[in-house]
Amino acid sequence: MAKLLEIAQLGNPILRQVARPVENINAPSIQKLIDFLMSTVSSANGVGIAAPQVSQSYRLFIVASRPNSRYPNAPLMKPLVIINPKITGHSEEMVKGWEGCLSIPGIRGLVPRYRTIEVEYLSVDGTLHRQEFTDFVARIFQHELDHLNGIVFVDRLETTLDMFTEQEYQKLNK
C-alpha cells in the first residue's frame, strides 16, 4: 500500500497540466518511469495509470486491463506501454460506463466514451503502432489519454447524478 501514497491525488496541480512528449524512450529515466508505472498499476489494482499520476508530466501511460478486485469484469490482456498517443479516429457511438481513478479514491462515475477508437502510439521499443480498441480497453485508453491533457473522469460526467461513492457502487454490483 505504500506505493499508493505516491500517486498524485485530485487537487494536485500536476494532474491539470498538459504533459510533454517523450523524446528519448531509451533514456534511463524514462525506462525507470515505465517500470515504476508497471509495478504501481498492478499493486494498486488499477487497469491503467498515466505518468502524471506519479508526478512525471510525460505523454506516457499503461493500459493493463485484467480482472481484479476493483474491476472484476475487466478483460485480461498483456499490459501495453503507450507513448506519445494520438486518437486518429473514433466511432460516432458513445457509451456510458463505470470508471474510477487511482487519483480520485472512493469515487466512481458513469462516463460517456467513444465505443471504438483508432489510435497511434509508440511502444516501449520505439515502434509506431496503429491499432483499434473497443469497449472497456478503449475506455481505459481515453481515460488515460485525458490524464496527459490535464483532464480527469469527473470532468466528463454528464451530470453529478452519475457520480457514486465506492461503497454505493459496490452495492450496485453485488
**12 is written with which cell numbers?**
494536485
**In a 10 Å sphere around its CB, with 0-12 CB exposed, 13-18 middle and 19+ buried, how is residue 126 labelled?**
exposed
Q: Identify which of residues 101 and 110 has a Cβ nearer to Zn ion in the complex.
A: 101
Is 93 known to be catalytic? no
Helix (H, G, I), strand (E, B) or coil at 154: helix
Determine if 101 is a binding residue for Zn ion (CB under 5 A): yes
Least distance to Zn ion, CB of residue 146, Å? 8
**56 is written with which cell numbers?**
512525471
**124 is written with which cell numbers?**
516501449
Q: One symbol per residue from 53 to 92: x for binding Zn ion (CB under 5 A), - otherwise; what is it?
A: ----------------------------------------
Alpha-carbon distance of 44 to 46, in angstroms, equals 5
- Radius of gyration of the chain measured on its C-alpha atoms: 15
Least distance to Zn ion, CB of residue 49, Å? 7
Least distance to Zn ion, CB of residue 81, Å? 17
Least distance to Zn ion, CB of residue 100, Å? 8
Q: Identify which of residues 51 and 101 has a Cβ nearer to Zn ion in the complex.
A: 101
**106 is written with which cell numbers?**
472512493
- The residue range among 14-22, 63-71, 97-105, 129-137 that interacts with Zn ion, by the rule CB under 5 A, is 97-105
**14 is written with which cell numbers?**
500536476
Catalytic residue among 144, 158, 166, 168: 144
Q: Catalytic positions, please? A: 144
Interface positions with Zn ion (CB under 5 A) = 101
